[in-house]
């Protein structure tokens, strides 16, 4: 039985979650290729909590949705009940290990899977199937997610991600030329994942060239490991938060703002940063990793990944000047029900505006600022909860057979 490491899942206080999984290759991968006559293809995507969700067709007939994630090596199916129903045959069983003393979970390897997207096809893809849907992505995104795909795409094509127009452009690496308006960033591909050395402005006095994983499968802006370098400390102004759950249980940590961050030639200021209490070192042994860049920061740029040349190219888009904000209500929701259209309060941060207004875990959202929950999704809910400080929020919930309405004002705590 093969051992692989499952890195922890973090649900940030900003609005979403991010996924970090490390795999090992277990079978020959024949990979993706362009359909006949194609040299470049455009694939539309949906954005949910800063994550890229792309359409995937399995075995030429099953329409699925996958997260495009630079942090994963093997393509992953997150729910074995789906692959069982489709008659997958499993070649071997593997164990997933988390941080701490968590009980390992089972997963299975299956080969010879055919996946396709608009303009590209694959043969012989080796995939990992989780025995149980421990990630529960649909409840945190509000849509059904079937899996994750990363290195199988990034190792084969130059991948241009246009967050504003929600499209991905795939090109042949040897034929691709980058326009001069983009800033080049050197990458080092370690165990199939892209790392870059980038400058952190931790405060007015301290700067640090940090080693960061570039992770499109992460919804946060920036995560820093306080145990990786003596200069990385939690700023004086912070909020303590539950950052998510992993195999070892709840992941606790802090949210704060660092002074700035340089990406390409551009500097971003007052970047909201997550500081987990648990170290990141076990997730990337031998990389010297200080943290991770995620989708909330990446979406301010048009981003081009060229693993073939170990380069990344970035250009600010029209959202670049928007300030970094986070969920100022203190509420976290999950999507429930068969249609994932019932929104349950999953957590209320202590001493937050929503906490002080009397909202509780288990309350069911009925209306938000006079908009019925039936007309909302999780992304729209969180957008309203991080608009601007002082924004008045009217919220109605259902609790113990009664409808309760409360009002509070968004408050920036960091």
CATH number at residue 130: 2.40.70.10
Tokens of 100: 């701490």
Domain end, chosen from 173, 207, 222, is at 173
Question: Domain containing 206: what range?
Answer: 197-297
Q: Do 229 and 364 belong to one domain?
A: no
HSE (side-chain half, CA atoms, 13 Å) at 248: 13
> What's the number of domains the chain is made of?
3
Q: Say yes or no: 156 and 231 in one domain.
A: no
147 and 204 assigned to the same domain: no
pLDDT of residue 250: 62
Q: Are residues 48 and 100 in the same domain?
A: yes
Measured CA to CA, the distance from residue 126 to residue 28 in angstroms comes to 7
Residues 154 and 218 placed together within one structural domain of the fold: no
Q: Residue 209 burial by CB count (10 A; 0-12/13-18/19+): exposed, middle or buried?
A: exposed
pTM for the complete prediction?
Answer: 0.90
Cα gap 1→95, rounded to integer Å: 7
Q: At 385, phi and psi to the nearest 5?
A: -95, 0
Do 80 and 146 fall into the same domain?
yes
Residue 180 belongs to a domain: no
In a domain, residue 186? The reply is: no
Distant-in-sequence, close-in-space partners of 145: CB < 8 Å, separation ≥ 6: 53, 65, 66, 67, 78, 137, 138
Are 314 and 264 in contact by the 8 Å Cβ rule? The answer is yes
Q: Is residue 360 part of a domain?
A: yes
Please report, in angstroms and rounded to a whole number, the separation of the first and last CA atoms in the chain.
Answer: 46
Residue 81 in domain? yes
With respect to residue 250, please indicate whether it lies within any of the assigned structural domains: yes
Buried b / exposed e along 123-136 (16+ C-beta atoms within 10 A): eebbbbbbeebbbb
Structure tokens belonging to residue 205:
């006095």
Residues 270 and 350 in one domain: no
Residue 127 shares a structural domain with residue 266: no
Task: Please list the pLDDT of the chain residue by residue as tens digits (414 residues).
Answer: 333 333 444 433 333 333 433 344 444 446 899 998 888 999 999 999 999 999 999 988 899 999 999 988 889 999 899 999 988 989 999 887 655 455 677 899 998 789 999 999 998 888 999 998 887 889 989 999 999 999 999 999 999 999 999 999 999 998 888 888 999 999 999 989 999 999 999 988 889 999 999 999 988 999 999 999 999 999 999 998 876 655 455 678 899 999 999 999 999 999 999 999 877 544 444 568 999 999 999 999 999 999 999 999 999 999 999 999 988 999 999 999 989 999 999 999 999 999 999 999 999 999 999 999 999 999 999 999 988 899 999 999 999 999 999 999 999 999
């Amino acid at each position: 039985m093969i051992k692989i490491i499952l890195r922890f899942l973090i649900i940030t206080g900003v609005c979403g979650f991010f996924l970090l999984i490390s795999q090992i290759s277990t079978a020959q991968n024949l990979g993706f290729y362009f359909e006949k006559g194609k040299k470049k293809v455009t694939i539309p995507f949906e954005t949910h909590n800063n994550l890229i969700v792309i359409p995937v067709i399995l075995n030429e007939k099953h329409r699925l949705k996958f997260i495009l994630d630079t942090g994963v090596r093997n393509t992953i199916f997150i729910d074995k009940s789906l692959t069982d129903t489709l008659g997958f045959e499993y070649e071997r069983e593997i164990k997933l290990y988390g941080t701490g003393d968590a009980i390992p979970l089972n997963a299975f390897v299956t080969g010879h899977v055919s996946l396709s997207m608009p303009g590209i096809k694959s043969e012989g893809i080796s995939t990992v199937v989780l025995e149980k849907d421990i990630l529960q992505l649909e409840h945190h995104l509000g849509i059904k997610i079937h899996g994750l795909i990363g290195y199988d795409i990034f190792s084969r094509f130059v991948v241009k991600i246009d967050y504003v127009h929600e499209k991905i452009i795939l090109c042949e690496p040897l034929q691709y030329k980058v326009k001069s308006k983009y800033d080049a960033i050197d990458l080092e591909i370690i165990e199939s994942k892209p790392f870059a050395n980038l400058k952190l402005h931790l405060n007015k006095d301290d700067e640090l060239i940090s080693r960061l994983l570039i992770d499109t499968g992460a919804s946060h802006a920036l995560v820093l490991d306080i145990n990786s370098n003596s200069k990385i400390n939690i700023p004086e102004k912070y909020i303590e938060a539950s950052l998510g759950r992993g195999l070892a249980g709840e992941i606790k940590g802090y949210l704060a703002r660092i002074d700035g961050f340089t990406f390409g030639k551009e500097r971003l200021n007052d970047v909201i940063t997550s500081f987990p209490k648990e170290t990141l070192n076990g997730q990337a042994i031998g990389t010297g990793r200080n943290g991770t860049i995620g989708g909330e920061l990446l979406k301010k740029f048009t981003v081009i990944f060229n693993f073939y040349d170990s380069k990344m190219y970035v250009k600010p888009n029209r959202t670049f000047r928007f300030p970094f904000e986070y969920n100022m209500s203190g509420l976290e929701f999950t999507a429930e029900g068969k249609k994932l259209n019932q929104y349950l309060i999953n957590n209320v941060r202590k001493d937050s505006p929503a906490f002080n207004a009397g909202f509780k875990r288990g309350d069911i959202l009925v209306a938000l600022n006079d908009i019925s929950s039936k007309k909302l999704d999780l992304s729209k809910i969180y957008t309203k909860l991080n608009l601007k400080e002082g924004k008045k929020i009217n919220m109605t919930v259902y609790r113990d057979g009664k409808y309760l309405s409360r009002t509070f004002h968004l408050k920036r705590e960091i």
